[in-house]
């Protein structure tokens, strides 16, 4: 073996594309369909070039019919294929929510285990690009409410590259949420990047003073906050949840057992969101480990606005995370 495996310069977008290319090459049952995935190259250019490489049978442009093509993806999965359905944004996915909820998530159980739906649905999520209230919400926490589906939120290049294949191997439906601010994220990956674990959360920065639990684009804000806090002598442990359903409780509970303080950072709304679920689990399973109450930094309870200053004010930011962390540590 070589001393060190070679690395390549890549981006989140390229990593996603490479993952699709690998899956289509490894398994002829895999195909991609969605709006503008073919001739346009994908609305975030993830599938650019794949039409020429794999042809229109396997890179399928669909009409603007989210409910029909998501439903058709479910049907194709029932019929033995391994579809990857791309929905432009989570806001548009609501047009297909009935199919996701009432069919994809229920058919295995409702049929007494006779049928399963090995389907992957990818979609963009999140704010930060001034797209206003019909293109910028973070509804992955909503989807995480539903039994029968798995929810993935890749933040890193490694996960963008490595989550698709295990998602396709899952016999049940998997939704992959790609934050729209991450597509241009650049970095390096091993040349032979491989599939990643999709069951476990991951400690991204170690520390003993408090645990910051986050996922997706907010993860990087938390990591920036942790660096700044470290300069002031506060050592935060930052956890990337990676998978929102099923939640990996063990990883964040182990961290809280060490830090005794928990801060959840979520670009979704606070009321009834995934942050509320995590907070409840901490209360249920680690109440006596806590020195102070759990805190949350979430999006403001507004439809995400267009104007830059308002949008920024609506979202968790590095300074609001730092402020919450400092407040928590000083109370400890």
Partner 1 sequence: MNSTIDREHAIDQLRMMLLIRRFEEKSAELYSASKIRGFLHLYIGEEAVAVGVMASLAPEDGVVATYREHGQALARGVSANRIMAEMYGKQEGCSRGRGGSMHIFDAATRFYGGNAIVAGGIPLAVGLALAEMMRGCNTVTCCFFGDGAVAEGYFHESMNLAALWKLPVLFLCENNLYAMGTAIRYTQAAPDIAAKGAAYGMKATAVDGMDVVAVEGAARAAADHIRKGNGPYLLECRTYRFRPHSMFDTELYRTRDEVNQWKKRDPIDLLARRLYDTGGFNDQDMDVLEQSVAVEVEAAVAFAEAGTLEPVEDLTRFVNSERSDA
The footprint of partner 1 (CB under 8 A) covers: 31, 57, 60, 62-63, 65, 67-81, 83, 98-99, 102-103, 107-116, 147-148, 150, 170-172, 245-247, 249
- Least Å distance, CB 276 to partner 1, is 16
- Least Å distance, CB 133 to partner 1, is 23
- Least Å distance, CB 256 to partner 1, is 17
Nearer to partner 1, 247 or 318 (CB): 247
**Residues 218, 267: contact at Cβ < 8 Å?**
yes
Residue spans of alpha helices (H) in the chain: 12-26, 50-54, 66-78, 90-93, 97-98, 107-110, 140-143, 157-162, 164-169, 216-231, 249-259, 274-286, 308-314, 318-331
Tokens of 41: 């190259």
Nearer to partner 1, 230 or 285 (CB): 285
Distance CA 34, CA 17 (A): 15
Nearer to partner 1, 54 or 183 (CB): 54
- Least Å distance, CB 275 to partner 1, is 17
- Least Å distance, CB 79 to partner 1, is 3
Residue 232 annotated among the catalytic residues of the structure? no
Q: Given the residues 14, 35, 86, 135, select the one marked as catalytic.
A: 135
Characterize the bridge pairing of strands 236-240 and 202-205. Answer: antiparallel
Q: Given the residues 35, 66, 237, 277, select the one marked as catalytic.
A: 66
Residue 140 annotated among the catalytic residues of the structure? no
Distance CA 178, CA 89 (A): 9
Kindly tell me the burial class for residue 214, based on how many C-beta atoms sit within 10 Å of its own C-beta (0-12, 13-18, 19 or more).
Answer: buried
Nearer to partner 1, 109 or 227 (CB): 109
Distance CA 42, CA 281 (A): 38
ω into residue 153 within 30 of 0, thus cis? no
Nearer to partner 1, 63 or 233 (CB): 63
Catalytic site positions? 66, 135
């Amino acid at each position: 073996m070589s001393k060190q495996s070679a690395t390549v310069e890549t981006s989140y977008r390229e990593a996603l594309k490479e993952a699709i290319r690998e899956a289509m090459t490894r398994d002829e049952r895999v195909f991609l369909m969605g709006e503008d995935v073919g001739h346009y190259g994908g609305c975030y250019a993830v599938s650019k070039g794949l039409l020429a490489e794999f042809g229109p049978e396997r890179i399928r442009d669909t009409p603007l019919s989210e409910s029909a093509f998501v439903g058709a993806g479910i049907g194709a999965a029932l019929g033995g294929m391994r579809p990857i359905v791309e929905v432009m944004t989570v806001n548009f996915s609501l047009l297909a929510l009935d199919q996701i909820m009432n069919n994809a998530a229920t058919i295995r159980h409702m049929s007494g285990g006779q049928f399963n739906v090995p389907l992957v649905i990818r979609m963009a999520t999140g704010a930060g690009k001034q797209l206003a209230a019909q293109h910028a919400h973070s509804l992955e926490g909503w989807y995480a409410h539903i039994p029968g589906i798995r929810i993935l939120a890749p933040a890193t290049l490694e996960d963008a590259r490595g989550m698709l294949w295990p998602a396709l191997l899952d016999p049940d439906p998997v939704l992959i949420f790609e934050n729209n601010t991450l597509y241009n994220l650049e970095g390096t990956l091993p040349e032979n990047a491989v599939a990643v674990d999709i069951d476990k959360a991951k400690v991204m920065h170690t520390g003993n003073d408090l645990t910051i639990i986050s996922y997706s684009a907010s993860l990087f804000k938390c990591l920036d906050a942790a660096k700044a806090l470290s300069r002031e002598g506060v050592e935060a442990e930052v956890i990337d949840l990676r998978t929102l359903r099923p939640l990996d409780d063990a990883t964040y509970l182990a961290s809280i057992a060490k830090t005794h303080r928990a801060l959840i950072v979520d670009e979704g709304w606070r009321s009834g969101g995934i942050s509320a679920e995590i907070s409840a689990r901490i209360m249920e399973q680690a109440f006596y480990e806590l020195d102070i109450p759990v805190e949350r930094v979430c999006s403001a309870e507004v439809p995400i606005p267009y104007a830059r200053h308002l949008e920024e004010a609506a979202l968790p930011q590095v300074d609001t995370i730092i402020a919450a962390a400092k407040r928590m540590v000083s109370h400890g």
